Structure 1
Amino acid sequence: MPGLIFDCDGVLADTERDGHLPAFNQTFEEFGLPVRWSDAEYAEKLKVGGGKERMRTLLTPDFVAAAGLPTDQEALDEQVARWHRRKTEIYTGIIRDGDIPPRPGVRRVAEEAHEAGWTLAVASTSAEPSVRSVLELAMGPELTAGFSVFAGDVVQRKKPAPDIYAFAVDRLSLDPEHAVVIEDSRNGLLAALGAGLTCAVTTSAYTGEEDFTGASLVVTSLGDPAPREVPARVLSDPLGARPGRWVVLADLAALLTASAGPASRTD
């Protein structure tokens, strides 16, 4: 049976600018840290997979001294873990407030996949509580129950390493040739491709200018007919899927067929 694996942030909801960034900055303020990330600075931080990993980029000798942080590595790791736990609490509160809407089409396509018997999952480098809060926001509690969630530190290496997707495919007993990933970033695309998976991209707030070479389809969103029609604008369609005004499950299934076609030829 095929599988459909969603990334979380930027795919289920466009959470980075209005969710993660303010949560990081509020955390820094609460802990008295001498840093506030601007929008442009955070766009650069997104090249680093994982929230704790982004926080660790701060830990230059000058920053550690200015913030009065311990220099012992174990104590410093514990401090970062404290920051990240608090940041996760703040972030999940933002999501619960409901101010960040799901991205167009994600629930519609997931419902199609569920009804067709596809395996559903989310694979993300974000903390699991954060991922589950966004998943329920996007899918609702009933559909969420049909998802497997792979998140946070379940693997050591974060995207663009393929580990999270390789782990998910193994745990789900999926054939990589029969699984589609929906991503929004180059790091996520590289992770999916590295695990041997077909990847469609829906660009998000920070990723529209990234290089998506290797993606089987790149669109502005999956699109939705209702309640407010949001068309999916195709940015790249190397396999000739030719989706309509919104991407449907049949389009994603066609990507699997087209991806497998050339590899299976013997002439």
Structure 2
Amino acid sequence: MAEPAHRTGVRKPVGVDTTRASIARVYDYSLGGKDNYDIDRAAYAAILEVAPRQGDVSIMNRRWLHRVTRHLAGAAGIDQFLDIGAGLPTVANTHEIAQQQNPDARVVYVDNDPVCNAHGRVLLEQNENTHFVPADLLEDKTLLRNSDVTRYLDMDRPIALILCGLLHHVDDELDPVGIMHKYVELLPPGSYLALSHFYDPGPADPQQHALAKELERRFTEKGLGSGWYRTNEQILEYFSGLELIEPGLVQLDEWWPAGPPLRPRYPEENAMVGGVAYKPADNSTDHAN
């Protein structure tokens, strides 16, 4: 049985332990990376049994991150990024995309896994505007009050907070909605929240719902210990107090794609959504639109 979620973190960081599957290493493997072990590949194999194109989901998630970052650093004019749950470095990371749009864009990466921190510091801190901080999303006072993080940010100006594929690894018992409300409250006006998340359409789509529940079972019980598929309504709660920008909370390749689809989406690709929301100057909205 996989180790359950811990109160002090999404899950106790695996670090260099090669007897337990690591979220970061499994994701690295799904993207074709080499920083993984047999235990990670075995956990991923359990997913592939029911979702043979799960690797396409990981690639789709990266494409979404790139488009979001490009929009925020470009048209939206954001020059500060906080990427929480950065994981292992891969091709075209957040700072590379942001600094293509604005060479002065500042990116702070955060992860709670020691291996990710070691790799991140070597491979991501490529210039004076990129920084990697070892810390945990679930800190009691939030990372927006952590001086190790905020010393690199101007908390009086807008920030882009990015959680790419992270919140679905936070158990309901850890109150991910409450966690995000704390972050939203502390974000400066004019900031953006961008997140992607495993998606369960519920009984409205029985076939896709069955796939989501089986994937959830395999993520949580067959090696990783986390990976919850949530409904549209549940995911929208993370954006409470913010204004979702077009096209809203959608399947990832529907978020301002680079062009028309070349093929129908695989069922696995329908099981992940993403959205970007804006914090207005007068933050009086009770719920995301």
Structure 1 and Structure 2 fold alike (TM over 0.5): no
Q: Which protein is bigger by CA-based radius of gyration? A: 1
| TM-score, normalised by the number of residues in structure 2 | 0.42
